[in-house]
Structure formats: structure tokens, C-alpha cells
């Protein structure tokens, strides 16, 4: 098998982590205060404590609301961020991860010349989608979708997506679109099996409650994008992979079977093991029969200077 040709690492680029943080945020364990850290951190705080997260390295900004409308507000206030940094990581605030893993995420984005990527989840994580769980056989997998929990995006991808960030609290539907912005989207989005984070709280619990209080739901937000862009069922397909010995796998059926075998062997490690029997069979079927969704979608994109003048929803 051939080995994937990797892009050289460009010099002088910067990395930025932006976390939408509540009072229980875990970001102080991520190592941004380490003098050797090679990424910057902005804490976009949606809580109400005026004293929270005021350490110098945290760079606190304030915005009530959801994750993605809050991120939009930050770029509206500081549009120069899109020129100063090349890659941005947007983790949920309930992830356990160390500095070296975060730095490796940014390095892998450059090494593989990706537009969008994400770490995998440890098997003892709360999860929504099985294919984003760590698979021991692979180093990374090229996928057609990257979820909203912890995506790493290139600056030009963010610029194209900003019109959709503005009115999205949940982000539902964004994860079907940011992998599809080029004329050729193959090998531009991946999940990193060897770089894992632990998701410590049930998925979407706090956000769903906040949205209900506003008369909104994540599924309603998804339905709007579904109608606009013709989205299909959200299920990420791993269509190519590199295993731990450097070999390329190009059969999505074979990749799916290997993932299923790995997950079945580690059944007792899963926090939500009770879900696995149904999910494993579904995964095999989807990997074999579901088409890859990488056709190009067009989203009108504002120039960088226009972000600061954008109107609120």
C-alpha cells in the first residue's frame, strides 16, 4: 500500500483555541498557561460571574447565548483574528485534554493540509456519533463530516461559514457543511484516532435547556439548514484511513468492519456500552451502503472587514 504524502509544515503560523465557557469549564487543565505552549486561548464566557476566568492567559470576552452565535460575536468584535491566526480549535468546555494533544491537533491539521479536523473521543466519553470514537487500528481517518463538539478549522473555512454561525446557537447542521466548501473536498477533513479527548458530561444537556427557554431547539435549527442545503441524515462516513503501520485503507466497507471489530473488543471500556449493540450493526450498514457527501455547497461569504459590521439576528 502507498503512504499518504504529507504537506510540509509552513513556518510562522499561529494557533488559537476559542472555548465557549460556563462556570464549570475545564479549560484551565489544557495547558495554555505553560510558557512552552504554542497556542493562544480566548475564553468566551457565557456565565454571570464577573470574577471568573480573569487570568492573563485566558483573554476573557463575554457573550450570553449558544456556542456558535457566541463565536460569531467574537469575530465580529475582533475580525483581525482571522488574519492573525491560521487554525482555530473550538472545543466544548467539558472536554478533558492536555497541552500536547492540542498542539498535536494543530500540527496534524498542517501536516495533512486539512480544512477541518477533530480529535477522536476516548471510549469512556459521552458521545453522539459512534464513528468519532477512538479506533485503535488507525492513526486517522478521512471523513465526510466533522462534528460540532471540537472542530479545528482553517481561517478561510471560518470566513465562509460565518454567515451561518451568526444565528446558530446549537450548531446543528454546520457539521454537514464545513467539509464541503471546496471544488474538491476529498482528503480535506479527518478525525484523529491517535489524538483523543474525553467528553465528561452528557451531550447537549445545558444547551438544550437554554434553547428551550428561548423557544428554540437544535433540531429546528438543523431543519432550516436541511431545507436550504438539502442535507441528508447526519452520519459520518470514514472513506479512507491510515492505520498505525502507515498503510492506507481505501475501502469504506473494510474500514467500517475494522472499526466495528475494534469497538466490539473494547465493549467494556465504553461509558455508554448499552448503546453499542444497535450502533455497531448500524455502523456496518452505513459504512457499506451510505454515499460519501462531499459535493460542493456555496455559502455567501462576507469580506473580513464586513464581519465587524454584520447585523445581529
pLDDT digits (tens, 9 = 90+) for 244-296: 999 999 999 999 999 999 999 999 899 877 788 789 999 999 999 999 999 99
CB 240 within 8 A of CB 2: no
pLDDT digits 0-9 by tens, 82-138: 999 999 999 999 999 999 999 999 999 999 999 999 999 999 999 999 999 999 999
In whole angstroms, what is the distance from residue 284 CA to residue 258 CA? 10
pLDDT greater than 90 at residue 6: no
pLDDT for 8:
40
Q: Residue 248: beta bridge partners? A: 242
Q: 244-256: string of b/e by CB count within 10 Å (b at 16+)? A: eeeeebeebeebb
CB 236 within 8 A of CB 145: yes
Candidate from 13-27, 163-177, 293-307 with smallest mean pLDDT = 293-307
Global model pTM greater than 0.85: yes
Output the CA angle 16-85-12, nearest 5 degrees. 110
pLDDT digits 0-9 by tens, 124-170: 999 999 999 999 999 999 999 999 999 999 999 999 999 999 988 88
pLDDT greater than 60 at residue 237: yes
Rounded to 5 degrees, φ, ψ at 281 are -65, -40
Amino acid at each position: 500500500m502507498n503512504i499518504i504524502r504529507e504537506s510540509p509544515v509552513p513556518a510562522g503560523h499561529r494557533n488559537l483555541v476559542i472555548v465557549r465557557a460556563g462556570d464549570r469549564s475545564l479549560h484551565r487543565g489544557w495547558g495554555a498557561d505553560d510558557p512552552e505552549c504554542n497556542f493562544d486561548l480566548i475564553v468566551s464566557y457565557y456565565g454571570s460571574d464577573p470574577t471568573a476566568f480573569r487570568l492573563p492567559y485566558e483573554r476573557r470576552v463575554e457573550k450570553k447565548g449558544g456556542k456558535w452565535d457566541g463565536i460569531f460575536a467574537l469575530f465580529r468584535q475582533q475580525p483581525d483574528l482571522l488574519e492573525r491566526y491560521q487554525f482555530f480549535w473550538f472545543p466544548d468546555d467539558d472536554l478533558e485534554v492536555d497541552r500536547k494533544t492540542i498542539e498535536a491537533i494543530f500540527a496534524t491539521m498542517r501536516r495533512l493540509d486539512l480544512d477541518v479536523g477533530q480529535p477522536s473521543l476516548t471510549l469512556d466519553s459521552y458521545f453522539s456519533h459512534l464513528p468519532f470514537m477512538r479506533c485503535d487500528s488507525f492513526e486517522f481517518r478521512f471523513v465526510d463530516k466533522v462534528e460540532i463538539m471540537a472542530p479545528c478549522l482553517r481561517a478561510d473555512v471560518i470566513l465562509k461559514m460565518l454567515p451561518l454561525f451568526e444565528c446558530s446557537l446549537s450548531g446543528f447542521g454546520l457539521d454537514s457543511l464545513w467539509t464541503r466548501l471546496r471544488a474538491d473536498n476529498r482528503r480535506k477533513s479527518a478525525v484523529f484516532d491517535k489524538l483523543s479527548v474525553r467528553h465528561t458530561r452528557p451531550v447537549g444537556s445545558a444547551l438544550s435547556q437554554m434553547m428551550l427557554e428561548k423557544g428554540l431547539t437544535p433540531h429546528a435549527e438543523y431543519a432550516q439548514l436541511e431545507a436550504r442545503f438539502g442535507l441528508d441524515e447526519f452520519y459520518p462516513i470514514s472513506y479512507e484511513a491510515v492505520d498505525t503501520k502507515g498503510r492506507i485503507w481505501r475501502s469504506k466497507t473494510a474500514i467500517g468492519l475494522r472499526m466495528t471489530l475494534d469497538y466490539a473488543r473494547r465493549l467494556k471500556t465504553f461509558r455508554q456500552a448499552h448503546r453499542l449493540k444497535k450502533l455497531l450493526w448500524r455502523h456496518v450498514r452505513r459504512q457499506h451502503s451510505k454515499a460519501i457527501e462531499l459535493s460542493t455547497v456555496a455559502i455567501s461569504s462576507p469580506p473580513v472587514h464586513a464581519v465587524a459590521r454584520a447585523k445581529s439576528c
